[in-house]
Amino acid sequence: MNKTFKKNIGLLHLWLGLASGLIVFIVALTGSILVFEDEIDEFVNPEFYKVSEIGAKKIPTDVLIRDIELKYALKKINRVYAYNDPERTMIVTGKDSDKKNQIFSVDPYTGKTLGQIPERSRFFSVVLDIHRHLVLGDIGAFITGCSCLIFVFMLISGMILWWPKKVKNLKQRLTVKWNASFKRVNWDFHSVFGFYSFLVLLIISLTGLTWSFKWFESGIYLLADGTTKKPSAKVENPTKVDPKVDKTYFYQNIFSKTDSVFPYKGDTQIRIPSDTINSITVIKLNLEESIPNISSTAYFDKYTGKILEARPYEKLSRGDKIRRLIYPIHTGSIYGYPTKILAFLVCLFAVTLPVTGLLIWLGRKKSKK
């Protein structure tokens, strides 16, 4: 390899690493925490997610929602989550009188509210906000996105710098000399484990760009479908004025109709639009599939409850199917606990990269003096 080229790559690797190191540290640390978000949250707050006793029959969803609206003076219900697992509570989110989102856990057998928490103060909501936006909104998303792009370059350039000049030096590049000086161990740790985690970190970084840049998401659809225009995730509501029909079991009927259209076992989520234009969106996750995030969608009239359109997963475009896989690939949940543990370990290692890289730079500066 050309020495000048490798030297220039080394300089870029150094200075871009120093520039983005703090952001990489934060994003990697929060990412490692989010890998086991569901497991940690359910372990710490079991009463929020599990009922104390499975009853003979569940109370109609509309009765549960009306009780929450009256008890907590909610102005608007946003989402309703119903789970296939009989031990799971029903989750309802809505806006209070201060227009702040609240999350409620309800026992579907007794109707008792088991827990309430403001969405913004939920621990994992804060961690996710830091991970994606640094609590800085769109500006933070742009910063994390640029840092993610830099990190992709750092991984590729790191691989170039790691590559041995001769095959006989390969063994040295694949092992850490633990009995050497701290300076050597630090360098080995940075480069050797950087090599072993290269592919997984590259996949996590590239998939993470989907949430930072629209052009990256559009590129996925362009490669998969031949067009950057993705199908709309919303359907306009045909009924413009509420006809005041009987809504005693409005949401319960929507759940029933969804189950008849998509008869597989799954968790169902009702999304109620905040505007007056779009219809209700219902997403049913298919738990019979071995890969997560395989779901179908149905749309319902927000006033009459009539089904407007059904979009089974099988009829989605190739781009949509790939987009659905981005999240489980990024979080490591694609193949369950084995890939989750792998994602967790490489994210923890990524936390150390800015630190060990900084120590390498400081060691070289000291040597030059």
Residue 368: predicted pLDDT: 66
Burial (CB count within 10 angstroms: exposed 0-12, middle 13-18, buried 19+), residue 148: buried
Residue 124: predicted pLDDT: 96
Residue 165: predicted pLDDT: 82
Which letter, b or e, does each residue of 87-101 get, where b requires 16 or more Cβ atoms within 10 Å of its Cβ? ebbbbbbbbeeeeeb
Residue 21: predicted pLDDT: 95
Contact 296, 309 (CB under 8 A): no
CA distances from 235 to 111, 204, 309 (A): 32, 32, 8
- Global model pTM greater than 0.85: yes
Under-70 pLDDT residues of the chain: 1, 365-369
Q: Please give the class, per CATH, of domain 52-125.
A: alpha beta
Ranges of each domain in the chain: 3-41+131-224+338-363, 52-125, 228-331
Contact 65, 92 (CB under 8 A): yes
Q: Alpha helices of 243-317 — where are they, by DSSP H? A: 250-261
Tell me, what DSSP letter sits at residue 236? Answer: B
The sheet with strand 307-311 has its strands ordered as 113-118, 101-106, 90-95, 76-82, 268-271, 280-285, 295-300, 307-311
Cα 148 from Cα 209, distance rounded (Å): 7
Residue 64: predicted pLDDT: 95
Residue 129: predicted pLDDT: 96
Residue of 62, 136, 66, 76 lying closest to 272 (CA atoms): 76
pLDDT tens-digit map of 145-186: 999 999 999 999 999 999 888 877 788 889 999 999 999 999
Tokens standing for residue 297: 């969608």
Tokens standing for residue 161: 């710098």
Residues 6+ apart with CB under 8 A from 56: 109
Cα 60 from Cα 109, distance rounded (Å): 9
Contact 38, 332 (CB under 8 A): no
Contact 138, 188 (CB under 8 A): no
The DSSP H or E segment spanning 362 is helix 337-368
Cα 88 from Cα 46, distance rounded (Å): 10
Q: Is 294 helix (H, G, I), strand (E, B) or coil?
A: coil
Cα 329 from Cα 233, distance rounded (Å): 21
In sequence order, what are the beta bridge partners of 281? 271, 299
Residue 186: predicted pLDDT: 94
- The single residue listed with the structure tokens 């009188």 is 97
- Rounded percentage of the chain residues whose pLDDT exceeds 90: 84
- The single residue listed with the structure tokens 């597989």 is 264
Residue of 124, 87, 85, 122 lying closest to 104 (CA atoms): 122
Neighbours of 214 (CB within 10 A): 10
Dihedral angle of Cα 327, 61, 66, 95, to the nearest 10 degrees = 0
